[in-house]
Structure 1
Amino acid sequence: MARSVIFWGGAGAVMLMLAIFAGVVIGETPLPLSTVAAVFANVLWDAGHAVDPIDAGIVWSYRLPRSLVAAGCGAGLALSGVVLQALVRNALADPYLLGVSAGAGAGAVAVTILGLGGGALGLSAGAFSGATLAFVLVALLARAAGGGSAQLVLAGIAGSQLFNALTSFFIAKSANAEQARGIMFWLLGNLSGVRWPDVSLAAPTAVLGFVICLWFARAMDAFSFGAGSAAALGVPVRRVQAVLIGVTTLMTATMVSLVGSIGFVGLVIPHAMRMVVGPRHARLVPAAALAGAVFLIGADIVSRLLIPGQVVPIGVVTALVGAPGFALILLRNRRRL
C-alpha cells in the first residue's frame, strides 16, 4: 500500500512538473528548450549562462508564474467541485452552478469599481465576502424551497443570475469604457496579469484545500449515503459541513479574485476522475486536484495559441472543451445521474 502511494504520488508530481514545463516552453513567442533551461539554471544556481533579458523575463516573470497560478486554480476549482458534489449528493453541483463563482466575481468587482470597504478590503477579501454571501443566500433559498438537492441546484442557478446581474449593474453604473472592457475580459478568465505575488496566494490556498479535503476524505465517503447516514457512522455532520464549505468558499473566492470566473473545471473534472479512479475520495481528491491543475495549464496554453497575436479568455477554452466533455459524461452515465 505504501509503495503504491509513493509510486502514484511520484507519477503525479512528474506529470504536474511536465505540464508546468510545457506551459513555460509553449507560447506566443517560441523559445528553445536550451533557453528555458539556461534561464532556470541562472535563477536557481547562478550558472551565468548568456541569455537575452527579454527571453529571461518571458520565462521567469511571465510564463512560469502563469503556469503555477493555472495549476493552483485548476486544482482548487476541481477540489471545490468534488466537495460540493459529495455534500449535496448532486452530480451537477460545482462552484459555478451554485452561484459561488458569481458571488465572488460580484464581490471582487464591487471592491474594485465601487471601492466597497473604503480600501480596507482587498480583491481577495471582497471575492470571499461575495462568495460567502452567495452561498448563504442559495442555501437559505434551497432550504425554504424544500431542502432537496434539486432545489439547491435551482437556487444556485437563480443566485448565479442575481450576482451576474449585480456585476453587470456595477460595471454599467460606475466603470468607464476601459475599465468595463478589462473587467469583462477578466470575468471570462484571464491569466495574463498574474505574477509571482499571485503564486504566493494561489499555491498555498490550493495546498491547504487539498490537505483539508484529503483529511476529510472518509467523511465525504459517508456523505454519499446522506447526512443522516453520515451521522449514524459517527461523522460530526455540522462541523464537517462547515469546514468543507468554508474551504470550498475560500478556494473559489481566491481563484476568482486572481483569474476571474472559469466554468466547467469543478463540474467536469470530478466526473472524469470518478470514471478513472472510482468514487472513493481518498483516491478521487488527489486525482481531481492533479487533473484540474493539468487541464487548466493545457487550457491556458491553448488560449495563447488559438488565435495568433491574441489571447483568448481561458474561460472560453474551458467551456469549449468542458461542455462537450460533460455531454459525453451525461450520456455515458445517464442511468446514474
Structure 2
Amino acid sequence: MRAGCLRVVCNAERGPGLCDTAQLRAAPRGQRPGRLRLPLLCLLLGVALLGSVVCGVALGPTGIPLGKTVALLREAVRGGVIPAEDAGIYYIIRDVRLPRVLLAAVVGAGLSAVGVATQAMVRNALADPFVLGISSGASVGASAVALYGILGALGLYALSTAAFLGALCATALVYAIARTSNGLAPLRLVLTGTAMSYGFSAITTLLIFQAPNGNAAKSTMFWLLGSLGGVTWNSLPVATVVVACGLCYLLLSARRLNALAMGDETATTLGVSPARFRRELFVVAAAVTGVLVAVSGAVGFVGLMLPHLARLLVGADHRRVLLLAPLAGAVFLVWTDLLARTVAAPEQLPLGVITAAIGVPCFLLLMRRRGNALGGN
C-alpha cells in the first residue's frame, strides 16, 4: 500500500522526470538501478577528470606534448628543478593553463550540483539556476562591480561578494513574490523565477548600455556569456571552498532531497519541513551560483543537462546523483573550455556558445530516450 501511495503523490505533485525516487523507495533493495555500477562510474569519471585536466593543460593554441606536460606537472607538485629551456613552457602550464583548467572543473561540478538541488527543490525537470533568476541576479551584482567599481574597497573579493549579494537578493525577491498563504507552490516558483530572470537580464543590459567605458562594457558582455579568460590562482580558493561546502551540504541532505522530490505532503510525513528546507536550498544555491558567476560568467545548460545524464546512469536517488553529476559536470566543462579556446584560436569563444551547441542536441536526444520521464505521454 505504501508504494502505491508514494507513486500517487509523485504523479500528482512533482514535475516531470523526478518520480523515480518513489519507485526506488518501493523497489526491493537488490533491484534498485545503479546500485552496483555507481562505484565503477565514479572511478571512471575520476580517471576521466584527471586525464581531462592533463589534456586541458597540454592542448591549446600552443600545443605541449603530453609526456612533457605530465613531467612538468610532476616536478611542479614535487618542487623539483625545471630545466632552463622549459621555463617558458612551465610558465604556460603552471600560471596560465592549470588554474584555468582547475577552475573549469570546479565551476562544472558546482553548476551540476546546484542543478540537481534546484530540480528537486521545485520538482521540475527543466529547472536550473537560470530558471529561478539566481544567475541573472548574480550577473547584476557582478556587472555593477566590473563596470562601475561598486564595492571596490573589498579588492579581490569585490566581484564574488557582489555576485553573491545579487544572487541572494534575487532569490529573496523571487521567494517573497512566489510565496502565498498556502505555502510555496513549485510551479508558481518556476514561473516567478522565469519572469524575474528576464527583469534582471534587462537591468544588466541597462548597466552595460550606460557604462562609461566602452571597452569595459564589451568585455563584460563577453564575460556574461561565460568565459574563463584571465583566470589566475587567486580565482580558485573562494570558488573551490564555496563549491566544496555546498556539495557537502547537499550530500548530507540527500535523503531530504529524496523526500522533497516526492511532494510536500510526503516530505512532511517523513519528518522534513518543505518550507524550511527550501529556504536552506535557496541560500546554498545563491551562494554557489553567485560565486561561480563571479569567476566564470553565466554558463548555461550545465546545471540543466548534467543532472539528467546522472539520473539516466544511476537512477533518481540523490545519494547517487550527487556523487556522479559533479564529476560529470567537471569533465564536461574542462573539455568545453578547451574547445572555447582552440576552435577559433587565437580568439576565444564564450563558454555559453559551446555549452548550448553541445547541450541542445544532447538534451533533445535525452528527451527522446526518456520521453515519459520528461513530460512525454
Unaligned runs of 5+ residues in structure 2 are 1-29
Q: Which has the larger radius of gyration?
A: 2
What residue number does 1:116 align with? Answer: 150
Q: In the alignment, residue 244 of structure 2 is paired with which amino acid?
A: V
* Worse overlay, 233-242 or 95-104: 233-242
Q: Tell me which residue corresponds to 1:284.
A: 321
Q: CA deviation at 1:3?
A: 9.9
Pair 3,284 (structure 1): closer, same or farther in 2 beyond 3 Å: closer
Matched, 1:14 2:47: yes
- The structure-2 alpha-carbon separation of the partners of 1:148 and 1:68, relative to structure 1 and needing over 3 Å to count, comes to same
Q: CA deviation at 1:18?
A: 1.3
The reply on whether 1:127 has 2:163 as its aligned counterpart is: yes
Provide the residue aligned with 1:184 in structure 2.
221
Using the TM superposition, name which of 165-174 and 41-50 deviates more.
41-50
Aligned residue for 2:210, secondary structure, equals helix
Secondary structure of 2:179 counterpart: helix
Query: What secondary structure does 1:279 align onto?
Result: coil
Of 307, 310, 315 in structure 2, the residue corresponding to residue 273 of structure 1 is 310
Q: 1:250, CA displacement in angstroms?
A: 0.9
Choose the corresponding residue for 2:113, options 79, 82, 95.
Answer: 79
Deviates more, 1:25-34 or 1:232-241: 232-241
Of the three residues 21, 41, 65, the one matched with 2:99 is 65
CA distance in 2, matches of 1:92, 1:209: 21
CA RMSD of aligned residues (A): 2.3
Distance change in 2, residues 1:5/1:306 (3 Å): closer
Structure 2 CA distance for aligned equivalents of residues 287 and 71 of structure 1 = 14
The answer to whether residue 60 in structure 2 is matched with residue 27 in structure 1 is: yes
Shift of 1:49: 3.8
SS of equivalent residue, structure 1 residue 52: helix
Q: Establish whether residue 244 from structure 1 lines up as the match of residue 277 from structure 2.
A: no
Q: 2: distance between equivalents of 1:270 and 1:114?
A: 36
Instruction: Name 2:74's counterpart in structure 1.
Output: 41
Between 92-101 and 49-58, the greater mean CA deviation after superposition: 49-58
Aligned residues: 337
Contact 2:152 2:158 (C-alpha < 8 Å) held by counterparts = no
1:54 to 70, 75, 88: 88
- Paired position in structure 1 for 2:11: none
- Following superposition, the deviation at residue 132 of structure 1 comes to 1.1
Greater shift in the superposed pair: 207-216 or 120-129: 120-129
For structure 1, which segment, 201-210 or 20-29, has the greater mean C-alpha deviation from structure 2 after superposition?
201-210
**In 1, are the aligned partners of 2:126 and 2:304 still within 8 Å (CA)?**
yes
2:259 corresponds in structure 1 to 222
Question: What are the Cα deviations for residues 143-177 of structure 1, in whole angstroms up to 9, with x where unaligned?
Answer: 35985333322222211111111111111112311
Match status 1:172 vs 2:206: no
Matched, 1:99 2:154: no
Report the Cα distance in structure 2 between the residues aligned to 1:322 and 1:71, rounded to whole angstroms. 17
Deviations 1:204-251 (A, max 9, x none): 222212211110011100011112211210124344323322211111
C-alpha distance in structure 1 between counterparts of 2:372 and 2:40, whole Å = 35
Deviation at 1:275, TM superposition (A): 0.7
Provide the C-alpha distance between the structure 1 equivalents of 2:353 and 2:133, rounded to a whole number of angstroms.
Answer: 19
Q: 1:249 to 1:34 in 2, by over 3 A?
A: same
The answer on whether the counterparts of 2:122 and 2:190 sit within 8 Å (CA) in structure 1 is no
- Is 1:328 matched up with 2:362? no
Match of 2:233 in 1: 196
Q: TM-score, normalised by structure 1?
A: 0.93
Moved more, 32-41 or 130-139: 32-41
In 1: Cα distance, 2:321 partner to 2:59 partner:
29
Name the stretch that deviates more: 56-65 or 231-240. 231-240
> Residue type matched to 1:63 in 2?
R
Which residue of 75, 90, 94 corresponds with 2:124?
A: 90
Report the AA paired with residue 191 of structure 2.
Answer: L
TM-score of the pair, normalised by structure 2 = 0.83
Distance of 2:187 and 2:110 partners within structure 1: 24
The residue number in structure 2 matching 1:263 is 300
Provide, for residues 108-161 of structure 1, a one-character-per-residue CA deviation record: whole Å limited to 9, x for no partner. Answer: 111232333463571111101111111222223333598533332222221111
Q: Sequence identity, in percent? A: 38
Give 1:137's match in structure 2, choosing from 163, 173, 176: 173
- The more displaced of 217-226 and 140-149 is 140-149
